[in-house]
Amino acid sequence: MENAAADRVAARLDEGHDPYGLIVTDLVALIGHVQVSLRLIEAAIAREAVLAARQADVDTVVLDDVTPHYFTASTTLKACDAGLGAALDRLRDSGAAARLLN
């Protein structure tokens, strides 16, 4: 899969596309995917909370609680989102500075 992605990037660079623009576009798309995943995880956590409340009313014991795994994934994705956002900000700052110099 990495080779296919690298081949697509190489093909786009060969077509004369601006590497800076390609990187910014890819980062923006990746941030979007991470944020969609975060919303899906938050919805799953909310769904688990509702199910747990219903089961507590019936005095059912839940042996397999997946919510901690959702929280772990959410925390990791939030860190990823923050890091990608910082990378995008720095890239945009450096791109703006480079364009001012030209």
* Residues whose CB falls within 8 Å of the CB of residue 91, separated by 6 or more in sequence, listed in order: 20, 23, 24, 27
pLDDT given for residue 55 in this prediction: 73
Per the confidence metrics, is the pTM higher than 0.85?
A: no
Note down the domain range covering 41. Answer: 2-101
- The torsion angles phi and psi of 58, rounded to 5 degrees, stand at -95, 0
Tell me how far apart the alpha carbons of residues 94 and 88 are, in angstroms, rounded to a whole number: 10
Alpha helices in the chain (DSSP H): 2-14, 19-57, 67-101
pLDDT reading at 27 higher than 90: yes
Contact yes or no for 48/73 (Cβ under 8 A)? no
Number of structural domains (the chain) is: 1
The whole-number average pLDDT for the span 13-18 is 64
59-99 per-position pLDDT tens digit: 655 555 667 888 899 999 999 999 999 999 999 888 766 66
